[in-house]
Amino acid sequence: MPNPPADSTNPETLVPRLFERLEQFLGRLESLLPPGNPAPAGSAIAWRWRSQGRYGWLQPVRAPQRIMPADLCCLERQIAELERNTRQFLVGGGANHTLLWGARGTGKSSLVKAILNAYSDQGLRLIEVSREDLGSLPEILDLIRNRPERFILFCDDLSFEPGEAGYTSLKAALEGSIAALPENLLIYATSNRRHLLPESQADNRSVSVEEGELHPGEAIESKISLSDRFGLWIAFHPFTQAQYLTIVRHWIRRLAPEAIPPAEADWAPIERAALQWALRRGSRSGRTAWQFARDWTGRWTLAQRGALLGTRDDPDIDPPGTGAP
């Protein structure tokens, strides 16, 4: 015979069931709450803003990328401009929010990270905020206001479509809000677009000519109104072939010093391979040079390991351009 159903009023079964239901409820509630302290704390030099539902918090970056300004070849002008602006900020002088714009893979984001690493011992800190979380800017600013550190609010690869909420939030934070930005904060943003918004041919039709002077229409004025609030613009242009090869050499030296060719002539096959790599990628950017150097040094290391083990019988493991059998 089947067992009779449990008595729902029996205290011996009712209490354990209530505790079980309570644990399930608390578990669901805990998943909706942010971590303990949303403010920057501890020994971290960088944080990411994370959001969950209606809550947000600063998550420490445990292992920030350790790139330095000396690693950024052929960017002397850009490095000097951003370093100067950052030093002015660190000593409490006048400094400008900065837009780093230009071709992809030319070192815009890497320069911001390098500046952080170079000046973190002087109190510089960084908070990375994604485009989707720009609506949380007022909460982030309240968390860092009156703190002793100097913060860079970093918006990477920033671009908007017309009408996006983040566009108006950033625009208001830069200059349009009644609440002043904390004096210990600067905004550094990178973008492939100088004006952060797509520009169409139709925008130019609204341009008028009065007494020989061009007057932009309302559509153009609206699109440049955000980028115009960055006091400093730093442009990044595509690299020449010579600059690309300079970057390749730098990263090979940096990644595998023991693989550096002994004579200048020995660089020729490596450079030919680097140019072929760039041709396949359709880009001679710094990022492409870094990727080639990683591949080349990886193949070189594998070939050396194979030679030591006596298993070097696959010609594909030799770095391109070495002429190894």
CATH of the domain at 130: 3.40.50.300
Query: Is 118 a domain residue?
Result: yes
The residues near 40 (Cβ < 8 Å, ≥ 6 apart) are 47, 58, 60, 125, 127, 143, 144, 147, 149
The DSSP bridge partners found for residue 51 are: 56
Same domain, 268 and 210: no
Instruction: Report the share of the chain in percent with pLDDT over 70.
Output: 69
Q: What is the mean pLDDT of the chain?
A: 80
Output the pLDDT for position 325.
34
What's the domain count of the chain? 2
Same domain, 51 and 180: yes
121 has pLDDT over 70: yes
Whole domain around residue 285: which residue ranges?
Answer: 241-317
More confident call, 146 vs 273: 273
Distance CA 41, CA 60 (A): 8
Same domain, 224 and 279: no
pLDDT in tens, 209-263: 555 555 454 444 555 666 778 889 999 999 999 999 999 999 999 999 999 998 9
Output the pLDDT for position 315.
40
Same domain, 152 and 288: no
Model confidence at 306, pLDDT cuts 50, 70, 90, reads: confident
Q: Which domain-ending residue is among 216, 236, 256?
A: 236
Same domain, 178 and 287: no
Same domain, 135 and 251: no
Same domain, 122 and 162: yes
Distance CA 126, CA 113 (A): 9
pLDDT in tens, 150-178: 999 999 988 766 666 666 677 777 765 66
Place of tokens 């893979």: 105
Distance CA 154, CA 105 (A): 17
Model confidence at 49, pLDDT cuts 50, 70, 90, reads: very high
More confident call, 201 vs 269: 269
Place of tokens 């960017």: 75
Token pair, residue 261, equals 């060719």
